[in-house]
Amino acid sequence: MSDTVWSYRDTSWSQDSDLIGYDVEASDGSIGKIDEASNDAAGQWLVVDTGFWIFGKKRLIPAGAVTGVDHDGKNVIVNLTKDEIKSAPDYDKDDWNDDSRGRHTDYYTPYSSR
């Protein structure tokens, strides 16, 4: 699995910071608010509640997609478009395992070098 997908580009973005509740901005607009955040040694990611945009769906976004964090404005910027996020694999907290992590890795790896 690609470490760059599951790690923040700048480690200071997650250290001593609670990103829950921050707005998430794709390259072409807002996608929702952070509902969960993981800083595990095995990988870092954000779970975004997309609200009515993708009704009833949450999207897991690996930390490697984050290109900026504005703590004052409570915004997280990602290097993805809304369509790329909408097309990502569904996230189910109760079904998060090696297989689902692998699907997310496969999907997001091409975007991690942007």
CATH code assigned at 44: 2.30.30.240
Domain of residue 60 covers: 11-111
- DSSP classification of residue 61: E
Question: What is the average per-residue pLDDT within 51-72?
Answer: 87
Q: Name the percent of the chain lying above pLDDT 90.
A: 64
Q: Which two tokens stand for residue 39?
A: 């800083």
The number of folded domains in the chain is 1
12-59: pLDDT as tens digits: 676 657 899 999 999 999 999 999 998 887 789 999 998 877 767 899
- 2 lies in some domain: no
Confidence at 75, pLDDT banded by 50, 70, 90: very high
What pLDDT is recorded for position 1? Answer: 44
Nearest to 113 by CA among 77, 75, 79: 79
Q: Does 7 have pLDDT greater than 70?
A: yes
Checking DSSP bridges between strand 43-49 and strand 23-26, what pairing results, if any?
unpaired
pTM: 0.88
Alpha helix segments (H runs only) across 26-97: 82-86
- 22 lies in some domain: yes
Q: Does 87 have pLDDT greater than 80?
A: yes
